[in-house]
């Protein structure tokens, strides 16, 4: 069994796995269109985390990390991830393409916050998203930490993500302005 991480699972892996592979899935875009009241925000003051939305371009790529879960750990890991991703995410099987193109693609599981869940915010202005992220804090820490960790994880694997990096730059400007006051 394989799990694909495209958000916090790219940098906060707190479950057992036996192999890690960098790669991408096609036909989706990573967007900060999911409210978080359980990790990076609170009820009444939600933060923003990423979800995947269907892309108009079937070749668009979302890069992340695939984790192979050993058979003896599968039940425990699924139970853990079902709880961790409980606020609006469901499991879906997709085709994963490893960074090493000599390795054939394979199917794996992703957690997807679709547009029918109560925490899906839909399209939003990047300035508005940045403002929310700069100020939100939840039980798992500041929303800006989530954003910065995800951006760094994508840089580490050599990926450019304009939505992610634009919001990161906007949040850094907001936080810089706030720290000067």
User: Which amino acids are annotated catalytic?
Assistant: 85
Q: How would you classify residue 135: left for phi > 0, otherwise alpha for psi between -120 and 50, otherwise beta? A: alpha
29 phi-psi bin (left φ>0, alpha ψ -120 to 50, beta other): beta
Dig out the tokens for 117 from the structure: 């869940």
Sign of the four-CA dihedral 15, 19, 21, 26:
negative
CA 26 remoteness from chain centre = 15
Cβ(26)–Cβ(97) under 8 Å?
yes
Closest by CA to 137, choosing from 63, 71, 56, 39, is 39
Phi-psi region of 122 (alpha: psi -120 to 50; beta: other; left: phi over 0): left
Position of tokens 């916050």? 113
């Amino acid at each position: 069994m394989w799990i694909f991480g495209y958000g916090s699972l790219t940098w906060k892996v707190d479950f057992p796995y036996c192999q890690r592979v960098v790669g991408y899935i096609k036909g989706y875009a990573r967007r900060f269109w999911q409210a978080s009241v359980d990790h990076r925000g609170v009820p009444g003051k939600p933060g923003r985390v990423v979800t995947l939305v269907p892309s108009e371009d079937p070749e668009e790529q979302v890069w992340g990390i695939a984790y192979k879960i050993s058979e003896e750990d599968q039940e425990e890991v699924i139970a853990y991830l079902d709880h961790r991703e409980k606020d609006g995410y469901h499991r879906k099987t997709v085709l994963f393409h490893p960074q090493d193109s000599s390795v054939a693609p394979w199917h794996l599981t992703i957690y997807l916050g679709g547009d029918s869940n109560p925490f899906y915010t839909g399209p939003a202005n990047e300035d508005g998203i940045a403002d929310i992220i700069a100020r939100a804090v939840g039980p798992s820490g500041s929303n800006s930490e989530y954003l910065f960790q995800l951006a760094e994880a994508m840089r580490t694997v050599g990926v450019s993500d304009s939505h992610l990096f634009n919001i990161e730059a906007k949040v850094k400007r907001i936080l810089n302005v706030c720290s000067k006051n």
